[in-house]
Structure 1
Amino acid sequence: MILPITIYGHPVLRKVAKDIDKDYPDLEKFKADMWQTMYFADGVGLAAPQVGRSIRMFVIDCSTFAEEEPELEGFKKMFINAKITERTGEEWAMSEGCLSVPGLNEDVKRPESIKIEYYDENWEFHEEEYSGYAARVIQHEYDHLEGIMFTDHCAPIKKRLLRGKLAGISKGKFKAKYKFTLPR
């Protein structure tokens, strides 16, 4: 089922998400719904808080970056109870957008590489390192688990300039082809 995307300004996007266990209610269905929702919305990642659930889970599909980083061909993963344990390397800027902030893209600086611990969809534990686009997408989605939006990474003056646009987005002044939930 395609779930509605939670839009900027909704309180769930600012909460630190909670770990889950294998007995989380309707987990298998929710995992399938996450993938279906991400693909329907043309996203490369989707975190559970973006669909209204404050749990530590996100999905990514970095295949769209395979032309520039061939190792990302077919790179599709689910992260459950993820914890970034290290961020290293030079920070580099890239324009980022977010399904929860439709129509807005801004340059965000992020470290080149990360180390992350997580459980996959089969509850197998992993400790892995990523760099480049994969590290960027993981960090963006991980931020959602920590209650952080990509706009929080903008310079203070840029944040002030974005205030009006973000207020409009939170009131539904945007176009999106997917279902969404506005802040209450």
Structure 2
Amino acid sequence: MIQPIYVYDQQILVQKCLDIPHDLPILPNLILDLWDTMRNAQGCGLSAPQIGLPYNVFVIDSQNAFQAIGKGFRKRYFDTEDKGIQEIFINPQLLEVSSKMWKAEEGCLSLPSLIKEVSRPWLIKISYYNEQLEHHVQEFSGLTARMILHELDHTKGILLINHMGVFTKKYLYFKLKSIKKGRVKVSYPISTR
């Protein structure tokens, strides 16, 4: 079911999430809600706190991004054999990051209309459970790794604006105030509770 996406200045977006018990009855519906809400908002990732739940769970769809990016640009965002993923990450833990860093622009459904260039590691290793509650330890690179790190930030209470300097935040004061009050044009439902 499509849920409203919590936007800037909601308490849930700045708190650290809890690991979700695998036997929690809401888990299957939470997974469906994350996919439905993300797809409705035409996003590429969404975390549980963005729909008001304090759990360490998120979904990633870098497959659509791979297909949308022109072939000439793919090598900037994806390794040779990488064609993106569509995956649920339950109780993920970051294990390793590469020293190779790269910059790219990021946006966030909880901060509509804000785009920021962020430097992130090219390669990560992560431990997580998938939708079938199977444990995985896997490496991801490029844009997929960036999306995972962005959503992992959400589960730790870190927002895109935390990657911005003080002067940039001051410059964006009125835009952030508009987002906080729900005065933004988006094609998806938002929550400003």
TM-score (norm 2): 0.89
Alignment of 1:35 onto 2:35? yes
Tell me which residue corresponds to 1:61: 61
| Residues 179 and 72 (structure 1), Cα distance of their counterparts in 2 relative to 1, 3 Å cut | farther
Q: 2:15 and 2:82 mapped to 1: Cα distance? A: 31
Secondary structure of 2:43's aligned partner? coil
Tell me which residue corresponds to 1:25: 25
Alignment of 1:166 onto 2:176? yes
Give matches, 1:1-184, under 5 Å.
Answer: 1-66=1-66, 67=69, 68=74, 69=78, 71-73=81-83, 75-182=85-192, 184=193
Aligned sequence identity (%): 41
Secondary structure of 1:102's aligned partner? coil
The size of the alignment, in residue pairs, is 183
Secondary structure of 1:32's aligned partner? helix
- Deviation, 1:7, is 0.6
- Deviation, 1:74, is 5.7
Decide whether the 8 Å contact of 1:12 with 1:49 is kept in 2.
Answer: yes
Worse-superposed segment, 51-60 or 169-178: 169-178
| Residues 72 and 4 (structure 1), Cα distance of their counterparts in 2 relative to 1, 3 Å cut | farther
- Deviation, 1:143, is 0.3
Structure 2 gap ranges (5+): none
CA RMSD of aligned residues (A): 1.4
| Residues 72 and 36 (structure 1), Cα distance of their counterparts in 2 relative to 1, 3 Å cut | farther
Worse-superposed segment, 131-140 or 101-110: 101-110
Q: 1:161 and 1:81 mapped to 2: Cα distance? A: 36
Q: 2:119 and 2:104 mapped to 1: Cα distance? A: 7
Q: 2:101 and 2:165 mapped to 1: Cα distance? A: 14
- Deviation, 1:164, is 2.4
Which amino acid in 2 is paired with 1:181? S
Q: 2:82 and 2:187 mapped to 1: Cα distance? A: 27
Q: 1:35 and 1:161 mapped to 2: Cα distance? A: 33
